Amino acid sequence: MKNIILWAFILLAGTFSQLLFKMGLKKNNIIQWNNVSSVIKFYLNNINIYFISGFFLAAISFLVWLKILSTHRVSIAFNISALMYIIMPAQAYLFLGEPIGI
C-alpha cells in the first residue's frame, strides 16, 4: 500500500508541478537567453503563487523520486514514471483547456 501511495504521489505531483509552472508563467512572456540578467529578469517577472507552488511541488516530487529509486529497480521505476506522458495531456485538457493532439 505504501508503494502505491508513493507512486501515485510521484505521478500526480510531477504532472501538477508542470501545470502550476504553466499557470504561473504570464502570457506572451518569452524567455530570452541572451545573457544571465535577461534570464533572471524573466523569472523575477513571473514569480507568483502558481510558480512558487510548482517549484516546491517539483522539489518534493524529486525527494520522493529519490526514495522510489532507492527501493525499486530502475527498469521498473522509469517504466512506471512514463505514465506521466499519459497523465500530463489529460490534466492539461481538464485544467487548462488545452486540446489533446497527436
Residue 102 lies in a domain: no
102 has a pLDDT exceeding 80: no
24 has a pLDDT exceeding 60: yes
Residue 27 lies in a domain: yes
Say which residue, 31 or 38, is predicted with more confidence: 38
Residue 90 lies in a domain: yes
Quick one: pLDDT band at residue 27, thresholds 50, 70, 90?
A: low
Residue 101 lies in a domain: no
Domain that holds residue 19: 2-96
> What pLDDT is recorded for position 13?
93
User: pTM higher than 0.85, yes or no?
Assistant: no
Cell of 100: 489533446
Residue 7 lies in a domain: yes
Residue 35 lies in a domain: yes
Residue 38 lies in a domain: yes
For residues 17 and 92, what is the distance between their CA atoms, to the nearest angstrom? 12
Give residue-wise pLDDT tens across range 61-82: 999 999 999 998 998 888 888 9
For residues 30 and 48, what is the distance between their CA atoms, to the nearest angstrom? 17
> Which residues, at least 6 apart from 98, have a Cβ–Cβ distance to it below 8 Å?
89, 92
Total tally of structural domains belonging to the chain = 1
Residue 8 lies in a domain: yes
